[in-house]
Amino acid sequence: MPRVPWALTAAGFRRYATYRQATFAGAFTNVIFGFLRCYILLAVAAEVGGAVAGYDGPKLVAFVWLGQGLLAVVSMWTMLDLAERVRSGDVVADLLRPINPLWTYLWTEFGRAGYAMLTRFVAPLVVGIVAFTFYIPQNWVTYPLFAVSIGLAVLVGFACRYLIGLTAFWLLDIRGVSMFWGFATNIGSGLAFPLAILPDWLATALWVGTPLPALLQAPIDIAVERGGVGHSLLLLAGQAAWGAGLLLVCRWVQARAVRRLVVQGG
Amino acid sequence: MIISASGLRKDFTVSRKVGRFRRERDVVSAVDGVDLSVERGELLGYIGPNGAGKSTTLKMLTGVLTPSAGEVRVCGLEPVARRTTLARRIGVVFGQRSQLWWDLPLAESFELLRHIYRVPAADHAARLARCVDLLGVDEFAATPVRQLSLGQRMRGELTAALLHGPEVLFLDEPTIGLDVLSKQAVRDFLAELDAAGDTTVVLTTHDLADIEKLCRRLVVIDHGRVVHDGGLDELHARYGSRRVIVADLDAPWPDGLALPGAVVTAVEADGRRVTLALDGVAAGEVVAALAHAVPLRDLSVQEPGIEDVIARLYRREA
C-alpha cells in the first residue's frame, strides 16, 4: 500500500481506537439486538416449517449475527464528518490539502472499518457461534470472497454517505436526507429481514436499482453460500460496480459543490 | 512577484423573503475590485473592519473560492484551477478553524501531514526542530488536539502550516482569542520568520499590536475595496496623526486661551483637565508656554496611536 493511503488508514484506525468505552457499549448493544432478532426469526422459521425464503435455522442465525457485526463495520447510520465540516466551514482545511478530500475521507473510513472489524464485528460473531447453531461455510473459497465483499460493502457505504455529506453544500442541514437514508437502509440493505422474503420483482428492483443490498445482504449471502461460487462472484461484481460508480458520482458532485462553495462563518 | 491580483471580485447572491412565497435575490459584492501585488519575502498586513472582505480575499488567493471576476496568480499559478498543486506551496492558518486531527495527538497530526505533503524525513525533522525551538510545541506534542488550550493549538497550527516549507503563508487572524503571552509567542515567531526572509506572509488581524510590531506594509480594505496600501508612517501622515499633551491644572482653564503650535481638543473636569494636540512643534515649547500660562499640577505626552488612525480610516474620514 502506498504511503499516503496507509498513513491515513492508520490514522483512521487510531482515531476510533481512542474511544474504548464507545466500542464496548456499541458491541454490547449489537449483541443484545442480535438475541432479539435471532429469536424472532427462528420463531418465524419454526412456524413456517424450519426455513424462511431458503434460509434454514443455522443460516438464519448466521444472517442475524453477521448482520449485527457488519452493521458497525459498514457503519451506514453514522454520518461522516464532512457534512458537519461544511456546515461549520471547517471544510476549508480539507480543501487546502494537496490531496482530494474524497480520498482522505475514504482512507480514514477504511481505517475506521478495520478497527470495527477487530472489535465490533468479532464480538457478536463469537456470541452467535457460541449461543446458537451457526452456519459454517463449506467451501474455503467463501472466506476470501466474504473478506473482499466486506471491503466492497465498506466502500459502497462510504460513497453513499459521502454523497449525503456533499448535499450539505446545497442544503447546509442534512438531517432530512440522512433520515430518509436511515429508513431506506433499514428496509433495503437486508438488515431487518433477508431480502429474499420480498416478492421477486421488488427484491430484483432493490438488487439492481439501488446500492442498498450491497451493504449487508451481499456479504451475508456470500458467507452463507447462497447459490454457490458463481452467484457469489456475481454479487461481488455488483458491489464493485456500485462502489466504482458511486465514487465517480462523488467526484462529479464534489467538483460542482466546490465551484459553488460559500464558506460558512467568515 | 509571488502574489498578484487585479480587479479581483467576489459576488454573493443573497435571497430575501418578500411576502409569503416570493423571494428576491440581491447581489452583494464581498470583494469589489481588489488590486494587490506582493513581492517574495514580504510580510503584508491585510486589515479591515469585520465584513470588509479580508477572509473572502484570502479564500480566493488560496483557491477555495472561485472569483466572480478578476485575475489572480499565486506562486505563478491560478489558485482555483491548480488548488491541489498550489496547496503544496502555501501554508494556511485560519484562526477560527483547525487543520489538525481532533482525536489524535499533535505529533501524529504532524506525522500525517509529512505523508500528505510528501516531505522528505530530513526536511520535516529540521522544520519541526525549528518550530519546537521557537514555539515550544514539544511540551504538548503527545496531547490529543481536542485537549489543547487555544494558545497551544494555535502554536500547533502554525507548525502544521510550515512543515512542508511553504513559499507563502496565509494567516487569518492567528492571534484571535489568545492571551498576552501566547500572542507574544506567535508574534515573535512571525517576526523571526520575516527576518529569515524566505517566506512571504499575508496576515489578517484585528490586533493592532500585531500590525505595529510586524507589518511594514499595510493594505487596508473596506467594503471590498482597497482604501490604503503603504506603510504605517504614510497612514499616520495621511491622517495627520498628532502627539497629544494632557495637562491637569490647579485652576480652571481660562476660556479662549490659545498656545502657539497647539490646538485645544478637550476641556474636562470643570476646566481642570485640558487636552492639547501638537501641530508639529516640539512638546517642550508647548509645555513651557503652558506652565507659564496656567498653574500646572501634572502632565503627560502621548504618542499618536495606530488605533485612532485605523478607527478614522474605518469611519472613512479624510
Q: Which three cell numbers stand for residue A119?
A: 472489535
Residues B49 and B188 in one domain: yes
Contact status of A2 with chain B (Cβ, < 8 Å): no
The pLDDT of residue A234: 96
* A30-56 residue pLDDT tens: 999 999 999 999 999 999 888 888 899
Amino acid at B151: G
Q: Do A18 and B92 touch (CB under 8 A)?
A: no
Q: Do A18 and B55 touch (CB under 8 A)?
A: no
The pLDDT of residue A264: 53
Contact status of A259 with chain B (Cβ, < 8 Å): yes
Question: Which chain B residues are within 8 Å of A266, Cβ to Cβ?
Answer: 55, 96
Higher-confidence residue of A8 and B316: namely: A8
CB A63 within 8 A of CB A217: no
Report yes or no on B132 lying in a domain: yes
Phi, psi of B70 (to 5 degrees): 105, 170
The pLDDT of residue A188: 92
* A118-150 residue pLDDT tens: 999 999 999 999 999 999 999 999 999 999 999
Report yes or no on B201 lying in a domain: yes
Report yes or no on B208 lying in a domain: yes
Q: Which of the residues A13, A14, A88, A92 would you substitute to probe the B interface, choosing the one with the greatest number of B C-beta atoms within 10 Å?
A: A92
Residues B137 and B197 in one domain: no
Contact status of A199 with chain B (Cβ, < 8 Å): no
Residue B308 has pLDDT above 80, yes or no: no
Backbone conformation region of residue B257, classed left if phi is above 0, alpha if psi is from -120 to 50, else beta? beta
The ipTM assigned to this model is 0.82
Residues B157 and B175 in one domain: no
The pLDDT of residue A196: 92
A4-21: average pLDDT: 91
CB A42 within 8 A of CB A60: yes
Residues B79 and B173 in one domain: yes
CB B201 within 8 A of CB B174: no
Q: Do B104 and A15 touch (CB under 8 A)?
A: yes
SS (H, E, C) A162-194: HHHHHCHHHHCCCHHHHHHHHHHHHHHCCCCCC
Residues B51 and B112 in one domain: no
Interface residue ranges in chain B relative to chain A, Cβ cutoff 8 Å = 12, 55, 59, 62-66, 83-85, 87-88, 90, 92, 94, 96-99, 101, 103-104, 108, 111-112, 115-118, 144
| Distances, alpha carbon A154 to alpha carbons A205, B155, B169, B275, in Å | 22, 36, 38, 73
Residue A179 has pLDDT above 70, yes or no: yes
How big is chain A by its Cα radius of gyration, in Å?
19
The pLDDT of residue B142: 93
How many structural domains is chain B composed of?
A: 3
Length of chain B: 318
Q: Which of the residues B64, B85, B104, B172 would you substitute to probe the A interface, choosing the one with the greatest number of A C-beta atoms within 10 Å?
A: B64
The pLDDT of residue A1: 64
Residues B152 and B174 in one domain: no
Picking from A125-134, A158-167, A181-190, B278-287, which range would have the lowest pLDDT averaged per residue? Answer: B278-287
List strands edge to edge, sheet with B3-18.
B22-38, B3-18, B69-74
pTM, rounded to two decimals: 0.85
Residues B273 and B151 in one domain: no
Q: What is the CATH number of the domain that holds B205?
A: 3.40.50.300
Average pLDDT of every residue of chain A = 92
Report yes or no on B310 lying in a domain: no
What's the first-to-final CA gap in chain A, in angstroms?
Answer: 39
The pLDDT of residue B292: 83
pLDDT-derived band at B251, boundaries 50, 70, 90: confident
Residue A6 has pLDDT above 90, yes or no: yes
How far, in Å, CA of A2 to CA of B239, rounded? 59
Report yes or no on B81 lying in a domain: yes
Residues B159 and B196 in one domain: no
pLDDT-derived band at A260, boundaries 50, 70, 90: confident
Q: Do B97 and A90 touch (CB under 8 A)?
A: yes
Residues B18 and B127 in one domain: no
Q: Which three cell numbers stand for residue A101?
A: 478530500
In this complex, the residue of A19, A88, A96 whose CB is nearest that of residue B92 is A96
* B9-56 residue pLDDT tens: 998 888 888 888 888 888 888 899 999 999 999 999 998 888 888 888
Contact status of A14 with chain B (Cβ, < 8 Å): yes
Sequence-ordered list of residues with C-beta below 8 angstroms from that of B165, at least 6 positions apart, any chain? B119, B123, B127
The pLDDT of residue A60: 94
CA B234 to chain centre: 17
Residues B209 and B82 in one domain: yes
For residue B140, give its domain range. 101-164
The pLDDT of residue B231: 85
Proportion of chain A above pLDDT 70, given as a percent: 98
Report yes or no on B274 lying in a domain: yes
Residues B187 and B298 in one domain: no
Q: 3-state DSSP call for residue A51?
A: strand
- Determine whether A253 is exposed, middle or buried from the number of CB atoms within 10 Å of its CB (0-12, 13-18, 19+): middle
Proportion of chain B above pLDDT 70, given as a percent: 98
Q: Which three cell numbers stand for residue A198?
A: 420480498
DSSP annotation string for chain B: --EEEEEEEEEEEEEEEETTTEEEEEEEEEEEEEEEEE-TT-EEEEE-STTSSHHHHHHHHTTSS--SEEEEEETTB-TTTTHHHHHTTEEEEETTS--S-TTSBHHHHHHHHHHHTT--HHHHHHHHHHHHHHH-GGGGTTSBGGGS-HHHHHHHHHHHHHTT--SEEEEESTTTT--HHHHHHHHHHHHHHHHH-SSEEEEE-S-HHHHHHH-SEEEEEETTEEEEEE-HHHHHHHTT---EEEEEESSPPPTT---TTEEEEEEEGGGTEEEEEE-SS-HHHHHHHHHHHS-EEEEEEEPPPHHHHHHHHHTT--
Residue A265 has pLDDT above 60, yes or no: no
* B60-84 residue pLDDT tens: 999 988 898 999 999 999 998 899 9
Report yes or no on B16 lying in a domain: yes
Residue B213 has pLDDT above 70, yes or no: yes
Picking from A205-214, B3-12, B268-277, which range would have the lowest pLDDT averaged per residue? Answer: B268-277
CA B4 to chain centre: 19
Maximal C-alpha separation, chain B = 75
Report yes or no on B18 lying in a domain: yes
The pLDDT of residue A157: 96
Task: Give the number of other Cβ atoms within 10 Å of residue A93's Cβ.
Answer: 20
Question: Which chain A residues are within 8 Å of B10, Cβ to Cβ?
Answer: none
Residue where a domain terminates, one of B222, B238, B254? B238
Domains of chain A by residue range: 3-259
B121-128: average pLDDT: 93
Distance, in angstroms, between B265 CA and closest chain A CA?
A: 38
Proportion of chain B above pLDDT 90, given as a percent: 35
B268-280: average pLDDT: 82
Residues B16 and B149 in one domain: no
Nearest chain A residue to B61 by CA distance is A96
pLDDT-derived band at B270, boundaries 50, 70, 90: confident
Q: Which three cell numbers stand for residue A104?
A: 482522505
CA B212 to chain centre: 9
The pLDDT of residue B309: 77
pLDDT-derived band at A266, boundaries 50, 70, 90: very low
